[in-house]
Amino acid sequence: MIVLTADSASELFAAACQAVLLNGKLAAPRDLTTTEVVGAHLCLTNPRRRLVAVPPIRMINPAFAVAEALWILSGSDAPWIFDFNDNLRQYADDGVLRGAYGPRIRHWDSGVDQLDAVVRKLTVDRQSRQAVVQIFDPARDHRGYRDVPCTLGYRFFIRQGRLVMHTSMRSQDLWLGFPYDIFATTLLHELMAGWLGVEVGEYHHHVDSLHLYAEHAPAAAECLHHEPAITEMEPIAVAWPSLDAVLAQIISGDGNLSDGTPWDTFSRMLTSYRTWKLGERNLARKLAHDTPGPLGAALVAWYQHLTQPALVSPELA
Ligand SMILES: O=c1ccn([C@H]2C[C@H](O)[C@@H](COP(=O)(O)O)O2)c(=O)[nH]1
């Protein structure tokens, strides 16, 4: 069991790489060799520091991080997400990601919006222990599809005027998965705090199998010789009843919001990356340059990264 606390996702990621390399044991589920720690509790004390970067060794595609978070929040399993990460196709049976989190969170059994349930529960009983979002579904997930959710669920607690969030994962690829997963979960955490009218508190990430695939272990070891880059996102909020309309506008790509909010930044990120995928690289770079804050800078860095093949991470070339 490892227990780690850090004030930024980058530091937490670097500390977890070190802990897995030091304490991990070999395991090879599905014949893929990993170094694994069984039992990890990773605590992020500032969930706005959600962007993982240990330059130049581990950079992420921030447009995919944003896209995936919005895709999940919108309750979708639509294939537009493949535009941002082609590698996800390998987990899809018949083109559908059966384990997609969004529909489970927003329309469990075609009915229950679990975010709405949590908002209502914690509005009525501020200290409730029943604010649960369930993702793993035995009725679907023991059927043999390729895509079995790695996240089992979330719990939320209001304590001392802050919202504390706990996530449980049965399986976490530290190198490829963690940076994107923590981006999405801490965004949900911060939005939920806003819907409940409290400050965002600590974020807890509980993982059963925290692992590094053999192909990523050398880079993870190299990370230990580099400084994690610490950036903090602007506070983000949206009224709960407006969430779906704001998400729909950003995802549709019908123009930027141009209102200077973090939602406008998200919209610009998606537009820039879609432009990149259309082959209009100079325009995509310009759009990234014009995107304010750490996300814009990370997208500029990602485009540089993509054009230096030796450094390209395997997820999104
Ligand atoms: O949100 C996710 C989804 C998947 N994975 C990784 C964990 C495993 O390496 C792999 C899924 O393989 P199984 O645990 O299902 O064997 O994908 C994550 O890290 N996060």
Q: What is the pLDDT of residue 317?
A: 33
pLDDT higher than 90, residue 90: no
Instruction: Identify whether the C-beta of residue 91 lies closer than 8 Å to the C-beta of residue 99.
Output: yes
- Distance in Å, CA 61 to ligand 1 centroid: 18
Atom of ligand 1 nearest to the CA of 30: 16
- Distance in Å, CA 282 to ligand 1 centroid: 34
Unique residue bearing structure tokens 């501020």: 126
- Distance in Å, CA 122 to ligand 1 centroid: 31
- Distance in Å, CA 75 to ligand 1 centroid: 20
Instruction: Identify whether the C-beta of residue 270 lies closer than 8 Å to the C-beta of residue 63.
Output: yes
255 pLDDT tier (thresholds 50, 70, 90): low
Residues with C-beta less than 6 Å from any ligand 1 atom: 29-30, 148, 150-151, 171-173, 177, 181
Instruction: Identify whether the C-beta of residue 236 lies closer than 8 Å to the C-beta of residue 191.
Output: yes
Residue 94 lies in a domain: yes
Residue 46 CB partners (closer than 8 Å, separation 6+) = 7, 8, 232
Residue 40 lies in a domain: yes
Which among 298, 280, 300, 305 is positioned nearest to 289, based on CA atoms?
Answer: 300
Atom of ligand 1 nearest to the CA of 172: 19
- The CATH number assigned to the domain holding 130 equals 3.30.572.10
Residue 273 lies in a domain: no
3-state secondary structure of 159: strand
Q: What is the pLDDT of residue 312?
A: 46
Residue 96 lies in a domain: yes
Which among 180, 146, 144, 185 is positioned nearest to 168, based on CA atoms?
Answer: 185
Q: What is the pLDDT of residue 146?
A: 85
Instruction: Identify whether the C-beta of residue 50 lies closer than 8 Å to the C-beta of residue 32.
Output: no
> Which residue from 33, 71, 172, 315 has its CB within 8 A of the most atoms of ligand 1, so it is best to mutate?
172
- Distance in Å, CA 150 to ligand 1 centroid: 5
pLDDT higher than 70, residue 96: yes
Could you report the per-residue pLDDT of 2-28, keeping only the tens digit for each? 999 999 999 999 999 999 999 999 999
254 pLDDT tier (thresholds 50, 70, 90): confident
Residue 14 lies in a domain: yes
Domain range spanning residue 40? 2-238
For residue 1, count CB atoms less than 10 angstroms from its CB and return exposed for 0-12, middle for 13-18, buried for 19 or more. exposed
pTM attached to this predicted model = 0.96
Tokens representing residue 136 in the block: 């793993």
Atom of ligand 1 nearest to the CA of 99: 3
Tokens representing residue 187 in the block: 């965004």
The domain total for the chain is: 1
Residue 270 lies in a domain: no
Residue 178 lies in a domain: yes
Residue 149 lies in a domain: yes
Q: What is the pLDDT of residue 314?
A: 55
